[in-house]
Amino acid sequence: MRNAFSRLCLTTIRLVRVMMPVAALAVAWLVAPAGADPPGASHRPIWQVYAIRYATIPSFPVRALVAGADSTRELDIAMMFWVLKGPEGRRVLVDAGFYRQKFIDSWKPADFLRPSEALQRFGVPTDSVTDVIVSHVHWDHLDGADLFPNARLWIQRQEYEYYVREDGTPAHAAIDSVDAQMLAQFHAAGRVQLVPGDGKEILPGVTAYTGGRHTFASQYVGVRTAAGTVVLASDNVYLYENLDRHAPIAQTLDAHSNLAAQDRMRRIASDLRLIVPGHDPGVFARFPAVGAGVVKIE
């Protein structure tokens, strides 16, 4: 009787030991939010992604955006950046727009709002921005970075080293001299994180990819959201037309690499519609408006 009892106890203990992890996994699965990774996958936060339009450049030649497009076509292109709202008040921008007068004078944007004002109008204070992921060094994506006093900047190491000399002057023409100086100052202040190449998860659930070749080491970003993985292509895809026609962007150092990057974006994004191009006004028609000039990518 005693032996039988012990055996029963041991069997029960063994059973409990075997079942505990299974039960724990089952509980984890039951309490996990919709769209979460299956049990055993690493826990990564879910982000909310918004596109914010802060200006329009009227009558832009489509041929300068889509390789091989009809030279008579023009489009009022959207100037936008993207905001990721994450857990614990994390506020991340992908690109920062522009605001310096020299760019306003030469490009004459319509409906211009400083990126910082557009963000504030959406209810996000500029000093709450924790990170700015710079897709590439062009003026309309980098210039606004110093509007966000507490942000650290994420840029590909190769992009930084290719364009910015140690003395803060431009090493190549794609970066404006003012923006090169600003970037060098950020770097000297320890506020630049140099991303070491492709497929790097720089924040939990936010991954940087290279290969778009809009500039020397332009990057795009995959973001985990409740709707699945969103790809913020920035100028590695200018317009939906690039994707639809499988046409490289008109300004690229390597058209084959750009097309390969577009193909890869299709695999990374949970759905084709979740690939967001860099200047397509259609972004603001395809997604629900949640504020003036703001849509939620979902």
Q: Does residue 95 interact with Zn ion by CB under 5 A?
A: no
Beta strands in the chain (DSSP E): 48-61, 74-85, 91-94, 131-133, 152-156, 192-195, 200-203, 206-210, 219-225, 228-234, 275-277, 289-291, 294-296
Helices and strands per DSSP (H, E), number in the chain: 9, 13
Beta-sheet pairing, 294-296 with 289-291 = antiparallel
> For residue 255, what is the enclosing H or E element?
helix 255-268
Span 104-143, contacts to Zn ion by CB under 5 A: 140
Six-digit token string for 195: 């991303």
Among 143, 146, 176, 235, which residue interacts with Zn ion (rule: CB under 5 A)?
A: 235
Instruction: Report, in Å, the least distance between residue 238 CB and Zn ion.
Output: 8
Instruction: Report, in Å, the least distance between residue 141 CB and Zn ion.
Output: 6
- Nearest residue to 254 (alpha-carbon basis) of 220, 213, 196, 198: 213
R_g of the chain, CA atoms, integer Å: 23
Instruction: Report, in Å, the least distance between residue 212 CB and Zn ion.
Output: 12
CA–CA distance, 264 with 133 (Å, rounded to integer): 20
CA–CA distance, 74 with 26 (Å, rounded to integer): 56
**In the complex with Zn ion, which residue's Cβ is closer, 137 or 269?**
137
Question: Quick check: helix, strand or coil at residue 83?
Answer: strand
Instruction: Report, in Å, the least distance between residue 139 CB and Zn ion.
Output: 8
**In the complex with Zn ion, which residue's Cβ is closer, 131 or 235?**
235
**In the complex with Zn ion, which residue's Cβ is closer, 90 or 100?**
100
Applying CB under 5 A, what is the total number of residues that bind Zn ion?
A: 2
Span 49-68, contacts to Zn ion by CB under 5 A: none
Instruction: Report, in Å, the least distance between residue 19 CB and Zn ion.
Output: 56
Span 140-169, contacts to Zn ion by CB under 5 A: 140
**In the complex with Zn ion, which residue's Cβ is closer, 103 or 160?**
103
Q: Which stretch binds Zn ion (CB under 5 A): 44-52, 90-98, 163-171, 234-242?
A: 234-242
CA–CA distance, 265 with 274 (Å, rounded to integer): 10
Cα-Cα-Cα-Cα dihedral sign, residues 30, 31, 33, 37: negative
**In the complex with Zn ion, which residue's Cβ is closer, 225 or 297?**
297
Q: Which stretch binds Zn ion (CB under 5 A): 111-119, 122-130, 227-235, 263-271?
A: 227-235
**In the complex with Zn ion, which residue's Cβ is closer, 215 or 225?**
215
**In the complex with Zn ion, which residue's Cβ is closer, 227 or 255?**
255
Residues that bind Zn ion (CB under 5 A): 140, 235
